[in-house]
Amino acid sequence: MRTFLKDVYRIWKLNGISLFLFELIYRIATSAVIMNLTDWFISISLKQQKYSYLTAENYVKFICHPLTLILLAVILLCMALMVLLEISAVFWCIQCSMLNEKTYVPGIIKNGITNSLLFIRYHPVFWSVYMLGTMPFLGLHFIIWEIANVKILEFTALQIYKFFPKTWLLVLLCVIIMTGSVIITFSLPYCITENRRIRLGIKMAAVRLRRHFGKSVAGVVLMQVLVLVVTAAAYLMAVALIVVVIIIFMKPSFRISGVLTYGNGAKSVIGLFAGSAGVIYGLLAVGGIYLPRRGKQYLKRISQKNRGKYRVFRRRAAAYLVTVLLIAAEAGGILYMNLARGNVNNMVLSSFSVTAHRGGALMAPENTMSAMEYAVESMSDYAEIDVQETKDDILVLLHDNNLKRTTGLNANVWDMTYQEVAQLDAGVKFNKRFLGEKVPTLDDIIKYSKGKIRLNIEVKSNGHNKNIVSKVIKCIEDNDFEDQCVLTSMNYSFLKQAKELNPDIKTGYIMTMTYGSIKDIECADLFSVKHTYVTRWFVKEAHACGKEVHAWTVNYPGDVQRMITYGADGVITDDPALVHRIYLGEEDKKTGFWGLMKYAVK
């Protein structure tokens, strides 16, 4: 192990700075390309499939559509090409270090491109699949970071998890994929440096791993663990510095907002570096095991064969100039994109509404009269309630299709008459204090709420209530409650029906994802979005269309403050009192260093 670490250090010592600068330039450029390409392709596919927006309801159909699959294949092909160029460039740099030759960023890029084209020429059919096979292992840090920060990937990962009936099957599949990726990664020197056939390279790597399994895997794992530790330490140090600067220079009422804003920026930058470091040190470990054992003369012969004409880039001044120009061009591009998006630092809101989730589910049984009383007492602006329909067409408050969770009776609401539902106890499961609490009707709740609190009436779609919208509208009109409510639903056709029946009633589209264009969603006056998918850019786009954005379900102080910082018009929460304290700045004033650190790392 000592010899291995010495070889890795020798490789890094000579060309480490050049390798770091190359990764910095390359990662920023490729990340921007992939992200913009993905957004563009999603928009194209949504338009072709006549979807305005990607939601949880149309997600599976969207993903399985032939056009989406074709565009996904194009993205994967682009990613494979970028991975190939990166690996070729890094191996070139490692090779130069082993031969005690100095190289610079332009030379790394040029020879990376040259060797990549050479590899594609030798392997015209399977090169892309082979390159993608390295990603689970080499790109592990980056993949984890992407899934945690790119919401559509997080949603996809959750769908994949739900698809497997047993967790151990998913774990087994991950182990198999990772094992294959390790073998492919160890075959890279044979296939990239020596231009051997992919099948032969994998076979040689498998033989080497069998003979030196402990040392080989231990070396690579050690490098990846080192990257993880250094990345975590760098992130904590960056966040601590941000918190200290904010405490010194920002007013108490803006500190949490500042920590969330700049902390997210630090998370993005550190995540990008973690991905780069994972690839570099993974390849350094593989190179440290492979290259010293091939012999210097052998490496020199291979190097001369694949070198290409790059002498001009070995001149230090020219190399530095080109590197500076590349970094300046990227910085200019990033600045331009941010300016093009406009100024979205909406730190102060003219209005911000607080909605008690399911009436007041924190302090009382959800969707009950007691919950409504708590919503009024907590001075909430709205109470969010869920409306279903019984077998005899009575509108009642119920979130689930089944009554078991709230009342203990395992029966679907559409199979029960209201007289049967009225006999159930909707409070005792929450707390014995609420023994005898009934499932109320929508009419009862509207009559209680009039003049006390506005209602966010979510109309549930369960396949058994096609005419429920007209009944809800009639109930609202009969109680002269049009100006004191908003009708919301995940079913967009329900909103269309509502606007046709009474255009004056405010409507809201409940969304779980924020991908697509909201310009064509004309029948929604506001968007009720899962808080993890609310971004500055979405809020800005909605406001440009004259629409409000309300985030659900927001219970953590950091998430509340993030919604305020992003300019959301309100939040739906189980804890209205907490939201009021944060909005008034009371939480900010008593939050010290460690409290702000918790906000930042959440």
Beta strands 485-489 and 570-573 are unpaired
**Residue 141 has which token pair?**
């840090």
Query: Helix (H, G, I), strand (E, B), or coil: what is residue 385?
Result: strand
Distance, CA of 43 to CA of 328 (rounded, Å):
30
Q: Which DSSP string corresponds to 451-487? A: TT-EEEEEE---SS-TTHHHHHHHHHHHTT-GGGEEE
In three-state secondary structure terms, 571 is strand
Nearest to 454, CA basis, from 479, 434, 474: 479
Sequence-ordered alpha helix ranges (H) in 291-368 = 296-306, 316-341
CA distance linking residue 554 with residue 560, whole number of Å: 6
Which residue in this structure is represented by tokens 């056939």?
Answer: 197
Q: Would you say 131 and 343 are in contact if contact means Cβ atoms under 8 Å apart?
A: no
Rounded to whole angstroms, how far apart are CA atoms 216 and 209?
7
Catalytic residues: 357, 399
Instruction: Note whether 576 and 383 are within 8 A (CB).
Output: no
Quote the CA–CA distance of 378 and 391 in Å, as a whole number. 34
**In terms of Cα–Cα distance, which of 25, 555, 6 is closest to 319?**
25
Tokens found for residue 378: 């907590």
Query: Hey, how many other C-beta atoms are within 10 angstroms of the C-beta on 425?
Result: 18
Place of tokens 């077998």: 391
Asked if 285 and 11 count as a contact pair (C-beta separation under 8 A), the reply is: no
543 burial (CB, 10 Å; 0-12 / 13-18 / 19+) is middle
Question: Do residues 231 and 270 touch, judged by C-beta distance below 8 A?
Answer: yes
Region for 359 from its dihedrals, namely left if φ exceeds 0, alpha if ψ lies in -120 to 50, beta otherwise: left
Beta carbons of 409 and 469 less than 8 angstroms apart = no
Can you tell me whether residue 570 is helix, strand or coil? strand
Q: Is 340 left (phi over 0), alpha (psi -120 to 50) or beta?
A: alpha
Euclidean distance between CA atoms 468 and 63, whole angstroms: 31
Rounded distance between C-alpha atoms, residue 78 and residue 31, angstroms: 11
